[in-house]
Amino acid sequence: MNNFTVFPAIDLRSGRVIRLEQGQKEHIKRFGFQPAQAAQQWILQGAAWLHVVNLDGAFGENTQTNLTALEKILAVSEGKASLQYGGGLRSIETIQEVLSLGAARVILGTAAVEQPRLVQDALNAFGAERVVLGLDARDGFIQIKGWEKGTTLTPINLAKQFIPDGLQTIIYTNVRRDGMQGGVDIQGTQQLADETGLSVIASGGVGTLEDIQRVKESGLSGVIVGRALYEKRFTLLEAIKC
């Protein structure tokens, strides 16, 4: 498809670029990049979008250090790449703040479960182009609070709640695959797209260029790539050319 997008991930913990395995705090890997350096590297390799996650916010911790990092990333990317940002966004005020700083769109995850009205209000206030639903699932059920708390909701049922409000885009992560580089859950992601009719971005499990090619061929709108890029399994330029 013509508008398939590869999103390089910049996961922030205490203002530093890190990756987690299956979202677990104890399985952390730090990289030598400053956040703005990472952004600059991906932009130089052709990134049209950056995917930035505030893990401190997702875990319910203080987010100021990561907001400072976000400002530096936005300074580097301004006019060169768009940015989507998620993690710990729990009020209209914080969403407004992030968008005002220059993010193109926000990602709401835990709020969709605990504060569904917030998602509805955000879609109404800012428009579907600026509000994305982040659905993270383990064994078929939605996980929230930085994947530390389970629910009995399925991704399809949760997504369908917001279709009447104008929702257009979902990021779907199979938590068990995230950071493991063992392949993307294409079947689960494709089923979500088919059942909802929404634009779905796949996340979690990319380890090879073939993984990206399979996501693209499946008709999904994009894929998020993190650890494989930082560990130089391939370059972002190679990924974009898939």
Q: Is-contact 101 74, C-beta < 8 A? A: yes
Q: In sequence order, which residues have a C-beta less than 8 Å from that of residue 182 and are 6 or more positions away?
A: 205, 207
Q: Rounded to whole angstroms, how far apart are CA atoms 148 and 25?
A: 10
**165 annotated active-site:** no
DSSP-assigned letters across all residues of the chain: -TT-EEEEEEEEETTEEEEEETTEEEEEEE-S--HHHHHHHHHHTT-SEEEEEEHHHHTT---HHHHHHHHHHHHHHTTT-EEEEESS--SHHHHHHHHHHT-SEEEESHHHHH-HHHHHHHHHHH-TTSEEEEEEEETTEEEETTTTEE-S--HHHHHHHTGGGT--EEEEEEGGGTTT-S---HHHHHHHHHHH--EEEEES---SHHHHHHHHHTT-SEEEE-HHHHTTSS-HHHHHT-
**136 annotated active-site:** yes
Give the distance, in angstroms, between the CA of residue 122 and the centroid of all CA atoms in the same chain. Answer: 17
Q: Residues 11, 178, 185, 211: which is the catalytic one?
A: 11
Q: Residues 56, 136, 178, 211: which is the catalytic one?
A: 136
Q: Rounded to whole angstroms, how far apart are CA atoms 238 and 75?
A: 26
Catalytic residues: 11, 136
